Structure 1
Amino acid sequence: MRSQTKDASVVRCPKCGRKNRLPSAAAGIPQCGYCHQPLPWVTEAGDGDFSEVVEAARIPVVVDFWAPWCGPCRMVSPALEQVAADLAGRLKLVKVNVDEAPRLSERFDVQAIPTLVVIQQGRVLSRRSGAAPAPALREWVDHALAV
């Protein structure tokens, strides 16, 4: 239920159903403007705004390096969005299209997609390649954040 714009997305609050506009980068943690519950934060980044969107985030970020032509990437996307919804207010999901962000692909040595990286305060905590179901991804994220 997200419609993407250049700098913000619209997210429906899972608690009350109201629509909220979320910026790609913000100083705090997104909350519903009506019921004040944490919102799942799913956005995109590229070579030009990665530092602002990911490295400056106050909460941990799962970066999904993907491509629209990649079948496993399309399969893992709903599972990642479920993890982001389950951890709303504690995790940000940022999707990076490798075809549009070659410098980031090189910087993070992306050899296969999907490649997932957990980053907190600009530091890589964990990474994995390949698709997995939501419970396995949730376990991986929980483990990465516990370290």
Structure 2
Amino acid sequence: MSESRHVVCPGCGAVNRLPVERLGDGKCGRCRQPLFPGQPVTLDEAGFDRHVARNDLPVLVDFWAEWCGPCKMMAPTFDQLAREFRGRLVVAKLETERAPAVSARFGIRSIPTMILFSGGREIDRLSGALPAAQLTQWLAGHGIR
């Protein structure tokens, strides 16, 4: 029997069990949308905990705001990470002004702040706009290649 991972659908929120060999190209069993669309998953307060806690893959969340210049500069980097790490990492974004309770819970004081979660727990965080190479190196330091 092949090994599998639980992956939360970015579209409908259903938890899917996916064989490891299909990570990166699987589709949701409920809504048939791609589980790894190649772009960051947009999170809200209602779905945040489900995505962070129920994904067997690590989840990198970018806490950002629409008015933040450095956050806008980071957007292409997050798009790149979502494509590059497809099937190995869930890349997600949470707009702090639309999710104040989650932002407060994690003590977000400056943006952009990136938090890496694994098994529903915070592993590490970085703040400020960073180049893609530095983020990739940081992820590698946590075993995500």
Q: Compute the TM-score of the two structures, normalised by the length of structure 2.
A: 0.75
Are 1:138 and 2:136 an aligned pair?
yes
In the superposition, relative to structure 1, how do residues 26 and 77 fare at CA in structure 2: closer, same or farther (>3 Å)?
farther
Q: Where does 1:1-147 land on structure 2 (aligned, <5 Å)?
A: 8=11, 23-24=12-13, 26-27=15-16, 28=18, 29-31=23-25, 40=38, 42-145=40-143
Q: Deviations over 1:91-145 (max 9, x none)?
A: 0111000000001111110000000000011011110100011111111111133
Q: Please provide the CA RMSD for this pair.
A: 2.2
Query: Aligned residues, how many?
Result: 123
Tell me if the contact between 2:40 and 2:78 (Cα under 8 Å) persists in the aligned partners.
no
Tell me if the contact between 1:25 and 1:52 (Cα under 8 Å) persists in the aligned partners.
no
Q: Compute the TM-score of the two structures, normalised by the length of structure 1.
A: 0.74
Tell me if the contact between 1:65 and 1:116 (Cα under 8 Å) persists in the aligned partners.
yes
CA distance in 1, matches of 2:38, 2:15: 14
Tell me if the contact between 1:66 and 1:113 (Cα under 8 Å) persists in the aligned partners.
yes
Tell me if the contact between 1:64 and 1:114 (Cα under 8 Å) persists in the aligned partners.
yes
CA distance in 1, matches of 2:98, 2:46: 10
Dislocated runs of 4+, deviation >6 Å: none
Percent identity of equivalent pairs? 34
CA distance in 2, matches of 1:46, 1:114: 16
Which blocks of at least 5 consecutive residues in structure 2 are unaligned? Answer: 1-9, 28-35
